[in-house]
Chains A and B, each alone.
Chain A
Amino acid sequence: MSNKKNWPLWEVFVRSKAGLNHRHSGSLHAADAEMALEMARDVYTRRSEGVSIWVVESKSIKASDPDNKDSLFEPANDKIYRHPTFYDLPDEVKHM
């Protein structure tokens, strides 16, 4: 690993149009948040892909561990009563 002091890594999220969520576009290196925003504009929105950009330093993101994926998401697997199709209703019932 290099011992030089490098620009930190930032994750870039772009809202492609009003009404949609910001979505992860990729990452880049920048000295600070302002520079990260300017660079994100040039790197990820050269063809009007966005109306709004978020940048966040990559080290600030806490991610779930893929090895714990099963135990983390398992509790939702057996709760079929959370879905509308679980409830059997007579055909006569309309608009439900």
Chain B
Amino acid sequence: MAEKDLEKIFQDKVDNEIKIEPKDWMPDAYRKTLIRQISQHAHSEIVGMLPEANWITRAPSLTRKVALLAKVQDEAGHGLYLYSSCETLGIERDDTIEDLHSGKAKYSSIFNYPTLTWADIGAIGWLVDGAAIMNQVPLCRCSYGPYSRAMIRVCKEESFHQRQGFSIMLKMANGTAEQKRMAQDAINRWWWPALKMFGPSDSDSEHSAQSMKWKIKRFSNDELRQRFLDMTVPQCHLLGCEVPDPDLKFNESTGHWEMGEIDWEEFWNVVKGKGKCNRQRLKARKGAYDKGEWVRDAALAYAEKKRQRKAASVAA
């Protein structure tokens, strides 16, 4: 069949909400876009463990500690679901990881900010996971079957992340003067980076239009950002904290909150590697991978030895 016909069949399926599965024909650019997006999503889950892991041993109580451990473990799991679904597109796990380590593949810039106090763990769960959920819920309906199934699983698990974060914020915001100060300080530092997680404005987003047509993406960056803002501002007020945006105002006629200008220069700087923790994060990832190499090799050698022994005993 001619490429043009195959492409039409493909687009018809997408238009009719029929999922594309790994062995189905798909345009090369669709495959490439998905590999880029899913692998970067996977990297984000894995790198995302680092800022929080910083606080596991410093959690203020055993309950907070087990909850944080469970959350970080979930993120490892989410990274694994995503790497697996990426592999269904014909790329090896190692190649995607190599791209992360070489800097060719990105991960969400949000993880290049430091976690300075315990309140940051609250702010991350509430704002960062909140923004991630806002992005991920529409991905559950993504046209690519394995990605959509991974996202359904991720979203099911992630609502606990946001609730545990908000519960930390509530405790801090209603605590001592010093705790309140820490809560506000964490909001001040995480508010804008969380809003930037939705990506550049629609007018500057290079992949948006095509991804919408392929139903990889369902809503524009700005639409999702607006939803997040409308949902989150009242939550911040409920904490008795201030939104660090002097231009924030409620528009009575539209019923929406309106934010001030986003500092995109800062965003691009972090994307390009100039954030506070970019180098530290990559070094930690590379270090973990390199130091784990002998374990992976040993496990493989042991499995091979067991297989040979079993074969020998069957033969004998």
Contact = CB atoms under 8 A, between A and B. Distances in A.
Given A26-B150, A28-B80, A65-B23, A1 B95 contact: yes
A5 B304 CA distance: 12
B185 interface: no
Interface string A22-42: 000011110110010000001
Contact of A7 (B74, B77, B300, B307): B300
B84 A7 contact: no
Contacts of B92: 1-2, 6
What interface size band does chain B fall in? 20 to 34
A42 B77 contact: yes
Instruction: Name the prevailing secondary structure of the A interface residues.
Output: loop
Interface of A: 1-2, 4-7, 9, 26-29, 31-32, 35, 42-43, 46-47, 63, 65-67
Given A7-B299, A66-B25, 20 more contacts: A2-B94, A2-B95, A2-B98, A5-B297, A6-B92, A6-B296, A7-B296, A7-B300, A26-B85, A26-B150, A26-B153, A27-B87, A29-B93, A31-B302, A32-B307, A43-B80, A46-B74, A46-B77, A63-B23, A66-B21
Interface of B: 21, 23-25, 70, 73-74, 77, 80-81, 84-85, 87, 92-95, 98, 149-150, 153, 157, 296-297, 299-300, 302-303, 306-307
Sort A-B residue pairs by CB-CB distance and give the 5 closest, nearest first: A32-B303, A31-B299, A31-B303, A2-B94, A27-B84
